[in-house]
Structure 1
Amino acid sequence: MTLKAVSPGSRVIVQKLTGKGDIKRRLMDMGIIPGTEILVQKVAPLGDPVEIKFKGYNLSLRWNEAETILVKPNEKS
């Protein structure tokens, strides 16, 4: 499943980044790498942007960026 499909309040673990080029590099530079736990905090009414929290800070992602992040549910939460 992609980060775009996750509902607010859910915790997920990043499995893979499917984006290419600048988008993938930008996400990796911010610390979104496989194994990272992400809490989806808010989703705008029309779905764009998605606000997430990870590694102690908040980040808003566009829908097209969120759909390049493959995640799995966090079994520990």
Structure 2
Amino acid sequence: MKLSELSCGKSGRVTAMSALPTATRKKLMVMGMLPNTEVTVVRLAPLGDPLQVRVRGVDMALRKQIAAAIEVEVLS
């Protein structure tokens, strides 16, 4: 499942970010979004872009295009 498909309040574990450009992937990894890291969607903007996600206790905003390139496995 893609990160952009998670609804508010749902959590997932990052499985892959290979579809992202190298520079973008490196920036996200520096901010703590690494494989096997838990990510929670906090809220969506009214028009759906950007998403607010929480990674390792830090909130960040991601464009929907970037979130669509991040694969997650849904946590129950």
The TM-score with structure 1 as length reference comes to 0.89
How far apart are residue 28 of structure 1 and its match? 1.1
How far apart are residue 19 of structure 1 and its match? 0.6
Question: In structure 2, what residue type is equivalent to 1:72?
Answer: E
Give the equivalent residue in structure 2 for 1:2. Answer: 2
| 1:13-70 deviation per Cα after TM superposition (whole angstroms, max 9, x unaligned) | 0000021221111111111111000110101121101001121111111111111110
C-alpha separation between the residues in 2 aligned to 1:25 and 1:68?
14
Give the equivalent residue in structure 1 for 2:65. Answer: 64
Task: Give the count of matched residue pairs.
Answer: 75
Give the equivalent residue in structure 1 for 2:29. Answer: 28
C-alpha separation between the residues in 2 aligned to 1:20 and 1:62?
14
Question: Among the aligned pairs, what percent are the same residue?
Answer: 33
Within-5 A mapping of 1:39-54: 39-54=40-55
C-alpha separation between the residues in 1 aligned to 2:9 and 2:56?
16
Q: Which runs of 4+ in 1 moved over 2 A?
A: none
Gaps of 5+ in 2: none
Given the alignment of the two structures, is residue 15 of structure 1 paired with residue 4 of structure 2, yes or no? no
The TM-score with structure 2 as length reference comes to 0.91
